[in-house]
Structure 1
Amino acid sequence: MKALIFAAGLGERMRPLTDHTPKPLLAVGGKPLIAWHLEKLAALGVSEVVVNTSWLADRFPEVLGDGSQWGLKLHYSYEGATPLETGGGMHHALPLLGDAPFIAVNGDIWTDFDFAGLPAEPAGSAHLVLVNNPVHNPHGDFALAGTGRVDSDGKAKFTFSGIGVYRARLLDTWREVIGGVAGTEAEPPRFKLAPLLRAAMALGEVSGTLHAGRWTDVGTPQRLKALDQELSRLR
């Protein structure tokens, strides 16, 4: 199984920390955020990981090398000076990911979620890991039914953790779903993944699970500092 780590963001809310270091390379608990993911993926048996890059792209191979220190083979999918968003980034990386289902993880989160809980073969086009809503996203993103089906709306909505398993077919209809939005006319195209997920949800093609453990979206210097202090205490 292969995996994609989204690491192309500009990290604007993290300035000045990200002036010279991409957000996924910022350290928490003694190692870069992205290294926590690489360790989990290697333990799961993932052999190849694609890291999409844009801002300070050269820093990734400088720090991570070819992935051999984790027993992985790393590929870098450079998107240019302007990141392609999640959908465009995934679309751009597909030639490196192949046709089989793959894991995708946001490079700027931390979690104790066990990746072994992810399905190797999602029933539909995608399987998402959801978490309880943090303070900065109180209304959540998607609803999770008792059957494991994920929908755009429902009585109880949870936050998307940034962890999922996807089939390449999710992107087959991106032009029909997103066509006309600024960025889609570019080459390579730039677009968000959420509209494609919502379209797939309407067809009953998205499943999910709720992770009730620890999870942090490292979106601000304050969250980064708090997470680093917490992890350092546990070492």
Structure 2
Amino acid sequence: MKAVVLAAGEGKRLDPLTRNRPKPLLPVAGIPLILRTVRALQSAGVGEACIVTSPAGDRIMDALKGVEGPRLRRGVQEKPLGTAHALLAAKDFVEGEESFLLVYGDLFFEAGMLRGLVEHVARGFDGGVLAIQREDAKRFGVLHEEDGLLKGIAEKPENIFGPALINSGIYVLPGEIFEAAEEVKPSPRGEYELTDAITQLVKRGRRIAVYRHPSGYWLDVGTPASYLEANLLALQELSPQATSKTLRDSYIGGGVRLGGRVEVKSSVLMEGVEVGENVALDSVVLLERAVVEDDSRLSYAIVGEGGRAGVGCRLEGLREKPVIVSPGATIPPYLTAEPGDVL
């Protein structure tokens, strides 16, 4: 089976974390999002995959060179005109296939979900979408289903209150989707939406299954809060063999230097991080070459690559409102940040 990964997004909602790198290269417990996706494709039996990037996506493909798994090729979306437009960059790659897997490139998910969806669609459906039950459904595309079949997708509806099934951004689609994508009209925000193309298939009578995986995690890594959450979830998967060093359910990358009397709990410290004396870190992500100086306390915080928290800082956020230190920024000594601050 072939697969397409849409990885051309700019990651604006993740700013400032995406100022110096594409969103798919953000590491989750040491492994870039895009690499996690490619590994999941391999476990689902995918033999070839097309990674659709922007023209500036060379770094994404460079990061995947030599990676074990499906054979990879690149498609380029020349302008950011939406998900249906991005899919068309893979048309030649998929040509001749009855169906294929499609995965958005900014997702963090349990790999078994892909195989579950593929096997479900193989029971006699034209395609399928992985559905996720969410309490905050109005933030996403909400799926309308009857008897396990998709009837429509409502994008971020205002009239939804409470839990509902949302569109995960993981599909098995028939080759006919490209014809539908070419016929899509621009949405109110001026983009060509894949969900509109899928809705066209439903109107044509195609049987698109709504599949619910029995268990597992799924996150749309679109904001700093969801990026932090993805890292905290990933830490639950780690074994000592999977890390350079484990400190209280944490990931410690290569070349990390820790001072004396340092407490690290449920945190990710990427390569080259330096932590001073008498520092407490709880539910924190320190990206490459970040520095935390002496006597500081950080919780629910993300420090971008090369960022520095000065002596005696108190950067204490909330799970849903982490404190963010921008890449390369230097935070003055003894600063106290509020939840949600971007420094």
Under a length normalisation based on structure 2, what TM-score does the superposition of the two structures give?
Answer: 0.59
**Closer, same or farther: CA 138–54 of 1 in aligned 2, 3 Å:** closer
Q: CA deviation at 1:112?
A: 1.2
Aligned to 1:224: 227
Amino acid at match of 1:39: R
Amino acid at match of 1:73: R
Q: Give 2:72's match in structure 1, choosing from 57, 71, 74.
A: 74
SS in 1 for 2:128: strand
Asked if structure 2 preserves the Cα contact closer than 8 Å seen for 1:127 and 1:166, the reply is yes
| 1:162-201: CA deviation from partner (whole Å, max 9, x where unpaired) | 111111212224454x2476999xxxxx621111111222
Work out the percentage of aligned pairs sharing the same amino acid: 26
Aligned to 1:187: none
2 CA distance for matches of 1:166 and 1:59?
28
**Closer, same or farther: CA 93–182 of 1 in aligned 2, 3 Å:** farther
Equivalent residue pairs, number: 225
Q: Give 2:177's match in structure 1, choosing from 167, 170, 175.
A: 170
Asked if structure 2 preserves the Cα contact closer than 8 Å seen for 1:50 and 1:76, the reply is yes
SS in 1 for 2:90: helix
Can you give the 5+ residue segments of structure 2 that lack an aligned partner in the other structure? 155-159, 239-343
Amino acid at match of 1:96: F
Bigger helix fraction: 1
2 CA distance for matches of 1:139 and 1:50?
25
More divergent stretch after superposition (21-30 vs 155-164): 155-164
More divergent stretch after superposition (4-13 vs 212-221): 212-221
Q: Which has the higher contact order (CA 8 A, sep 6+)?
A: 1
Amino acid at match of 2:209: S
**Closer, same or farther: CA 73–84 of 1 in aligned 2, 3 Å:** farther
- Asked if residue 142 in structure 1 is aligned to residue 140 in structure 2, the reply is no
- Asked if residue 46 in structure 1 is aligned to residue 46 in structure 2, the reply is yes
Between Structure 1 and Structure 2, whose CA radius of gyration is higher?
A: 2
More divergent stretch after superposition (33-42 vs 111-120): 111-120
Bigger strand fraction: 2
SS in 1 for 2:232: helix
1 CA distance for matches of 2:228 and 2:153?
33
More divergent stretch after superposition (135-144 vs 193-202): 135-144
| 1:70-93: CA deviation from partner (whole Å, max 9, x where unpaired) | 23211111122x224211111221
**Closer, same or farther: CA 209–15 of 1 in aligned 2, 3 Å:** same
Aligned to 1:201: 202
SS in 2 for 1:75: strand
SS in 2 for 1:104: strand
Aligned to 2:337: none
Asked if structure 2 preserves the Cα contact closer than 8 Å seen for 1:3 and 1:102, the reply is yes
